[in-house]
């Protein structure tokens, strides 16, 4: 911690100074946070924060831009936005919230935001800690590790790693925040090679509720490191991650991976799904991919199989020959490098409109269920005007090697899930919100029809409202997370999850 933050902390009352992470951080409140409290808080922040940091309110030129989100669903308007430029500034801001509570004022609701894709990165009449001005990347290529700080976005990490001949687990959205993606698990096309993103966390720095900055590593606060690997969003604001990196040669000759696109008419859904299921079941080489029903501007409603293969193009063609033998309307195979990983999906990262993305774990690729899913997609786009850009997808991964990153102990309880249902609903009229949400729910029910409820799997980064038992499958791990939450974040400053 910098001396500046220490000086600020010393301004608190004597009782507050002696609180530890095991003490109640926030005493009971007896009144609401008033406009005067907000003004005092803002003035305090402007005085305490370092040069370059910003404290924004409605009417400030940067406020509207900061409040843009990937989706308009439940987007709220905060009272204050703080844009820190350093870890100390993040700590000062959290400490300021803590100080308000220590003065026996009602809680200051706040959320952090990086890429703005999460439904939980917006808040009404509270405080947003916008990390867009605090970001940096430090790569030690010879040590195969990279430090990611603050609000670094996925494309920024891809470009920096590629410059120095490295890669790691990343998401498919260029504007997704790296740190929140990683600490929530990190499903990736690269999972068959190097595991989930959280399995590649070597160490972390986290700001906890009383403004302290803690180091979590294998030798210091190792239990907190375990929690950060898969549930870090519930324990504080993670300001820095040290991640494993890898040589691109692992992807294939010359550091190139092989991609493909094969298009089929929707009426062949069962046939194509059965063929793909046979191919994926027989795979003995690292591969992943997506099988989707979508509405293409030039092709109309169509099925697309999009494999990603870590090898040579002839190997890809041989492996997926059964799919070309089915006679697609058109198909193409082409190479791609890590720096361009998510470029083809940039259209999905635009801000605005009403979008929801959910991910549900599946036992397998079920052709009968997928055919019903295709019919449901047709019903959605035909009955809900403005929902034409919605996409229903099955994502598959081959098994991750049991050695390497997979040996890492994490709180993430979904390591054995290799098939996912990805539902992107995208619409323009807020009046149809409930109707579209029912389509999302029906899609999940449909694809889970061959699964007992106790085996339901939901991905916490996109489905935080689902039961904990769906998101964290190991009861012992859940109990450990509850114990750690009571120890490190007993008042639920960041979230009440696990309390």
Whether residue 42 contacts residue 97, with contact meaning beta carbons closer than 8 Å, is answered with no
Measuring CA to CA, which residue among 342, 435, 338, 339 is closest to residue 390? 435
Q: What is the DSSP string of 114-126?
A: SSS-STTS--SSS
Task: Provide the sign of the torsion angle of the four alpha carbons 21, 207, 112, 197, taken in this order.
Answer: negative
What is the C-alpha radius of gyration for the chain, rounded to an integer number of angstroms?
Answer: 23
Instruction: Tell me the residue length of the chain.
Output: 499
Which residue do the tokens 């409040």 mark? 67
Q: Could you give the strand order of the β-sheet that contains 330-336, starting from the edge strand earlier in sequence?
A: 330-336, 257-264, 300-309, 287-296, 391-397, 419-427, 354-362, 457-458
Only one residue has tokens 């494309």, namely 155
Alpha helix ranges (H) inside 134-268: 154-163, 178-183, 191-194, 222-231
Per DSSP, 447 falls in state: H
Q: Which tokens hold the place of 450?
A: 């061959």
Using CA of residue 151, residue 154, residue 159, residue 161, what is the dihedral sign?
positive
Structure tokens at 415: 């390591």
pLDDT at 341: 94
Q: Return the pLDDT at 94.
A: 93
CA angle 340, 172, 111 (to 5 degrees): 125
If one counts every other C-beta atom within 10 angstroms of the C-beta of residue 472, the result is 21
Can you tell me the distance from the alpha carbon of 64 to that of 50, in angstroms, rounded to the nearest whole number?
23
Per-residue pLDDT of the chain (499 residues; tens, 9 = 90+): 344 444 444 443 333 333 333 333 333 344 566 788 788 889 999 999 999 999 999 999 999 999 999 999 999 999 999 999 999 999 999 998 887 766 555 566 889 999 999 998 999 988 999 999 999 999 999 999 999 999 999 999 999 999 999 999 999 999 999 999 999 999 999 999 999 999 999 999 999 988 999 999 999 999 999 999 999 999 999 999 999 999 999 999 999 999 999 999 999 999 999 999 999 999 989 999 999 999 998 999 999 999 999 999 999 999 999 999 999 999 999 999 999 998 988 999 999 999 999 999 999 999 999 999 999 999 999 999 999 999 999 999 999 999 999 999 999 989 899 999 999 999 999 999 999 999 999 999 999 999 999 999 999 999 888 999 999 999 999 999 999 999 998 988 888 999 9
For residue 26 the two structure tokens come to 């926030």
Q: Report pLDDT for 32.
A: 61
Structure tokens at 118: 């999460």
CA dist 343 and 191 (Å) reads 19
Give the neighbor-by-neighbor strand order of the sheet with 213-216.
Answer: 135-140, 145-150, 237-244, 201-207, 213-216
Distance CA(208)–CA(289), nearest Å, equals 38
Angle between helices 433-447 and 367-383 (to 10 degrees): 170
Q: Indicate the SS3 state at residue 130.
A: strand
């Amino acid at each position: 911690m910098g001396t500046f933050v220490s000086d600020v902390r010393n301004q608190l009352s004597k009782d507050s100074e002696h609180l530890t992470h095991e003490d109640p951080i926030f005493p009971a409140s007896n009144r609401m946070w008033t406009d005067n409290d907000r003004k005092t808080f803002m003035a305090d922040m402007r005085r305490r924060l370092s040069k370059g940091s910003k404290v924004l309110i409605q009417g400030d030129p940067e406020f509207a831009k900061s409040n843009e989100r990937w989706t308009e669903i439940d987007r709220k308007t905060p009272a204050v936005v703080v844009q820190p430029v350093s870890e100390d500034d993040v700590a000062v801001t959290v400490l300021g919230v803590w100080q308000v509570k220590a003065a026996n004022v009602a809680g200051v609701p706040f959320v952090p935001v990086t890429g703005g894709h999460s439904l939980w990165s917006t808040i009404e009449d509270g405080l947003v800690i916008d990390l867009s001005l605090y970001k940096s990347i430090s790569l030690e290529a010879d040590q195969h590790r990279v430090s990611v700080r603050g609000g670094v976005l996925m494309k920024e990490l891809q470009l920096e790693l590629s410059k120095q001949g490295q890669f790691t687990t990343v998401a498919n959205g260029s504007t997704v925040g790296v740190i929140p993606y990683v600490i929530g698990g990190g499903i990736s096309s690269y999972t068959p090679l190097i595991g989930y993103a959280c399995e590649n966390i070597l160490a972390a720095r986290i700001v906890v509720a009383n403004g302290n900055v803690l180091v979590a590593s294998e030798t210091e606060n190792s239990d907190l490191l375990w929690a950060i690997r898969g549930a870090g969003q519930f324990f504080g604001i993670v300001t820095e991650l040290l991640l494993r990196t890898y040589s691109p040669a692992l992807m294939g000759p010359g550091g190139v991976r092989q991609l493909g696109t094969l298009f089929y008419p929707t009426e062949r859904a069962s046939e194509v799904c059965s063929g793909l299921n046979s191919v994926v079941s027989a795979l003995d080489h690292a591969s992943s991919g997506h099988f989707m029903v979508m509405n293409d501007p030039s092709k109309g409603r169509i099925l697309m199989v999009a494999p990603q293969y870590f090898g040579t193009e002839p190997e890809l063609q041989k492996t997926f020959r059964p799919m070309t033998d089915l006679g697609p309307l058109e198909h193409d195979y082409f190479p791609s490098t890590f720096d361009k990983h998510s470029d083809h999906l940039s259209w999905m990262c635009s801000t605005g409109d009403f979008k929801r993305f959910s991910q549900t774990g599946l036992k397998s690729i079920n052709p009968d269920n997928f055919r019903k899913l295709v019919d449901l997609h047709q019903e959605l786009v035909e009955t809900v005007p403005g929902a034409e850009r919605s996409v229903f997808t099955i994502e598959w991964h081959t098994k991750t090697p049991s050695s390497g990153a997979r040996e890492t102990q994490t709180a993430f309880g979904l390591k054995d899930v290799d098939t996912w249902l990805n539902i992107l609903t995208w619409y323009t009229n807020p009046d149809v919100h409930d109707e579209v949400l029912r389509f999302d729910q029906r899609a999940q029910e449909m694809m889970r029809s061959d699964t007992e409820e106790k085996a339901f799997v939901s991905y916490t980064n996109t489905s935080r409202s689902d039961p904990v038992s769906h998101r964290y499958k190991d009861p012992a791990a859940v109990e450990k997370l509850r114990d750690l939450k009571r120890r490190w974040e007993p008042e639920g400053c960041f979230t009440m999850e696990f309390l």
